[in-house]
Amino acid sequence: MKSTGFEEILSGFSKISPLKFEIWNEKGAVGACDPGDLKGVRQFLPGIAARVYEAEDFRHEETETQDGLFGLPLFDDDIIAGVLLAYFSNAHDNAQVSCPDPEDAKTLLTRIAGMIEERWDMQKESDTLINELDKSYESLHLYSNVATQIKTLNFSSQMILHLLNEIKENIRMDMVFSIMPDRPDYSEIVCKEEVKIKDEKGFVASLIKAVEKSDKALEEGYFIVNNSTDEKLFSKIHKDPFRFLAVKIMHNESFYGWLGIFSFSMDDIIKRSELRLLVSIAEQIGVVIANTDLYHNLEDFGINIVKSLIVTIEAKDVYTGGHSERVHHVSMLIAQEAGISEEDRKVLNWSALLHDVGKIGIPEAILNKPARLSDKEYSIIKGHPLKGAEIISPLDYLAGSIPGVLHHHEAYDGTGYPSRIKGQEIPLFSRIISVADTFDAITSDRAYRKGASFEKGRKIINEVSGTQLDPEMVAVFNKVYKRARTWLAEGQIK
Ligand SMILES: [Fe+2]
């Protein structure tokens, strides 16, 4: 029981009535009380306080020196939280002022008690409100953290771990877990250091097994155990009592697994706010997993399209079978030697494989012509880089590969096509592909001539360094030449 603010009320009433007021609990006076001991009244106060406590009702007592001692219980809900005491205090022995009769005193005390009780209620309400707000803020903070993370399309075990730790810190549980039987990557457990569970994985598995075995309907999508000792299935799992909440991770009809919080501390129960929070996080995880799957399916789908495109080009050009793959392999050797990052190499990977994809639109009669091409035919051939860029442009995740494809026939001195750009203006990936492409063109058989030897090819590459090809990339090619030659000579494709 808090006394804050009551002095004000009580002293206000003391001023307008001949009574002095105090609030007592079982231990004595609460808050400030009158320091004077008017006619020895103080000695009677503990007695009347105790009797009001016992009677749970208004009391009026008289002593030899005191006409009026009054007491009224103060209730907090249905429990006595204290007593309001009042005594007559005619400090100046003014005969005009007399002690109020018990009925009037009771009315006055009841009014004051009402005000005090009202204030307690308000205080409690505001405490609850502050508490709720605190919780909401925590939840909101956690949720905003979580929401930003799970917007991604590449949900990873790292992110799951981070997410579980956030939950653990924010809702102060001993353990937080996500168990997804078909996705071991997303199955993680985070545990407070001081909590000793030998085999965490096995432990969580038995919790979930018990949940699944339980008779309780799981239609709501969650399962709460507030005291494991009350539930036969769960009391066997650990000798100490525990409480936990497991929420299904689902999206549409697909069930992915369980998100759960667990604690050995029995001071509290699983709160509604915690349930709400966990349910919404589990929903988000479900959405992200579904999106990630969809994204991967799309990616696979795209890769398959690309693969079939490559097969189509190779099939059309009878003389250049395996060209795309050889150019790809040599380009990747150069890129690695040049120290290009893994991420950038992924982009180059597709550029190199697809550099000639635009040949799909060129009639086979021109591609396989066993004689020199006419100017018109040559201009059709020259359209293939642009055509290639157009073909892959609808595939979003290949967007980065477009420049490599579009400019793989530019020359370092600016005499190439389609844009006639030169030097460093030419995208690096195109300059790399150019070297590998030229080398393969020289060393493989054509409709009208036999391919040159690898050594001859290397020589020619170095001759056109600085005019057709980027000298820096030619220098790197020279370093990987032996490795390239070995791979090509082993007849991977050739
Ligand atoms: Fe080409």
Quote the ligand 1 centre to 384 CA distance (angstroms). Answer: 7
**Over 80: is that where the pLDDT of 479 sits?**
yes
Quote the ligand 1 centre to 172 CA distance (angstroms). Answer: 61
Residue 103 has a pLDDT of 86
Quote the ligand 1 centre to 437 CA distance (angstroms). Answer: 7
Q: In what side-by-side order are the strands of the sheet with 28-30?
A: 28-30, 19-25, 79-88, 69-76, 59-61
Sign of CA pseudo-dihedral 483, 484, 486, 491: positive
**Over 70: is that where the pLDDT of 319 sits?**
no
Are 70 and 87 contacting, i.e. CB atoms less than 8 angstroms apart? yes
Distance separating alpha carbons of residues 77 and 411, to the nearest angstrom: 89
443 in the same domain as 482? yes
414 in the same domain as 321? yes
252 in the same domain as 324? no
Residue 316 has a pLDDT of 73
**Over 80: is that where the pLDDT of 142 sits?**
no
What are the CA-CA distances from residue 17 to residues 104, 127, 410 (Å)? 11, 33, 103
Residue 399 has a pLDDT of 87
Quote the ligand 1 centre to 310 CA distance (angstroms). Answer: 13
Residue 152 has a pLDDT of 58
pLDDT tier for residue 345 given thresholds of 50, 70 and 90: very high
Pairing of β 254-263 and β 175-179:
antiparallel
Are 324 and 371 contacting, i.e. CB atoms less than 8 angstroms apart? no
**Over 70: is that where the pLDDT of 91 sits?**
no
Quote the ligand 1 centre to 337 CA distance (angstroms). Answer: 23
473 in the same domain as 344? yes
What are the CA-CA distances from residue 361 to residues 76, 364, 399, 474 (Å)? 87, 9, 20, 31
Domain end, chosen from 89, 124, 159, is at 124
Instruction: Examine residue 140 and state whether it is found in any structural domain, yes or no.
Output: no
Q: In what side-by-side order are the strands of the sheet with 243-251?
A: 188-191, 175-179, 254-263, 243-251, 222-225
Are 100 and 73 contacting, i.e. CB atoms less than 8 angstroms apart? no
pLDDT, tens digit (0-9, with 9 covering 90-100), for 182-201:
888 889 999 988 887 888 88
CATH number of domain containing 223: 3.30.450.40
**Over 70: is that where the pLDDT of 242 sits?**
yes
Instruction: Examine residue 222 and state whether it is found in any structural domain, yes or no.
Output: yes
Quote the ligand 1 centre to 440 CA distance (angstroms). Answer: 11
Distance separating alpha carbons of residues 307 and 300, to the nearest angstrom: 10
Does the predicted model carry a pTM greater than 0.85?
Answer: no
- Per the listing, tokens 């979580």 go with 146
Nearest to 382 by CA among 404, 360, 359: 359
Residue 112 CB neighbours (<10 A): 23
Instruction: Examine residue 146 and state whether it is found in any structural domain, yes or no.
Output: no
Distance separating alpha carbons of residues 259 and 286, to the nearest angstrom: 10
Residue 97 has a pLDDT of 67
Quote the ligand 1 centre to 408 CA distance (angstroms). Answer: 7
For 61, the enclosing helix (H) or strand (E) is strand 59-61
Quote the ligand 1 centre to 439 CA distance (angstroms). Answer: 12
78 in the same domain as 188? no
Instruction: Examine residue 359 and state whether it is found in any structural domain, yes or no.
Output: yes
Contacts of 280 (CB under 8 A, 6+ apart): 143
Nearest to 305 by CA among 384, 394, 387, 385: 394
Distance separating alpha carbons of residues 404 and 354, to the nearest angstrom: 9
Instruction: Examine residue 132 and state whether it is found in any structural domain, yes or no.
Output: no
Percent of the chain surpassing pLDDT 90: 33
Nearest to 437 by CA among 420, 423, 422, 416: 416
pLDDT tier for residue 493 given thresholds of 50, 70 and 90: very low
**Over 90: is that where the pLDDT of 422 sits?**
yes
Instruction: Check residues 230 and 456 and name the one with the higher pLDDT.
Output: 456
Least confident of 127-131, 345-349, 454-458: 127-131
285 in the same domain as 411? no
479 in the same domain as 350? yes
pLDDT, tens digit (0-9, with 9 covering 90-100), for 26-72:
888 887 666 666 667 788 888 889 999 888 899 988 877 777 889 99
323 in the same domain as 461? yes
Residue 435 has a pLDDT of 97
Distance separating alpha carbons of residues 355 and 328, to the nearest angstrom: 9
469 in the same domain as 327? yes
Least confident of 36-50, 399-413, 478-492: 36-50
Quote the ligand 1 centre to 421 CA distance (angstroms). Answer: 16
Instruction: Examine residue 18 and state whether it is found in any structural domain, yes or no.
Output: yes
Quote the ligand 1 centre to 409 CA distance (angstroms). Answer: 6
Domain end, chosen from 124, 142, 164, is at 124
Structural domain including 68 reads: 6-124
Query: Structural domain tally of the chain?
Result: 3
Quote the ligand 1 centre to 441 CA distance (angstroms). Answer: 9
Quote the ligand 1 centre to 340 CA distance (angstroms). Answer: 23
Distance separating alpha carbons of residues 265 and 369, to the nearest angstrom: 82
**Over 90: is that where the pLDDT of 366 sits?**
no
Give strand ranges (E) for 166-293.
Answer: 175-179, 188-191, 222-225, 243-251, 254-263
Residue 442 has a pLDDT of 93
Residue 114 has a pLDDT of 85
Quote the ligand 1 centre to 429 CA distance (angstroms). Answer: 13
Quote the ligand 1 centre to 368 CA distance (angstroms). Answer: 14
Tell me if residue 68 falls in helix, strand or coil.
coil
Most confident of the ranges 157-166, 290-299, 411-420: 411-420
Quote the ligand 1 centre to 403 CA distance (angstroms). Answer: 13
Contacts of 76 (CB under 8 A, 6+ apart): 1, 117, 120
156 in the same domain as 117? no
243 φ, ψ to 5°?
-135, 150
**Over 50: is that where the pLDDT of 124 sits?**
yes
CATH number of domain containing 419: 1.10.3210.10
Instruction: Examine residue 412 and state whether it is found in any structural domain, yes or no.
Output: yes
pLDDT, tens digit (0-9, with 9 covering 90-100), for 435-470:
999 999 999 887 677 889 999 999 999 999 999 999
166 in the same domain as 60? no
383 φ, ψ to 5°?
-80, -10
**Over 80: is that where the pLDDT of 351 sits?**
yes
Most confident of the ranges 2-6, 81-85, 168-172: 81-85
**Over 60: is that where the pLDDT of 494 sits?**
no
Instruction: Examine residue 353 and state whether it is found in any structural domain, yes or no.
Output: yes
381 in the same domain as 432? yes
Quote the ligand 1 centre to 239 CA distance (angstroms). Answer: 72
Nearest to 477 by CA among 442, 447, 451, 450: 442
| DSSP secondary structure code for residue 469 in this structure | B
Residue 140 CB neighbours (<10 A): 12
Residue 286 has a pLDDT of 87
Q: Look over the chain and give the mean of its residue pLDDT values, rounded to a whole number.
A: 84
Residue 123 has a pLDDT of 77
Residue 148 has a pLDDT of 62
Cα–Cα–Cα angle for 320, 323, 326, rounded to 5 degrees: 150
- Cα-trace Rg, the chain: 43
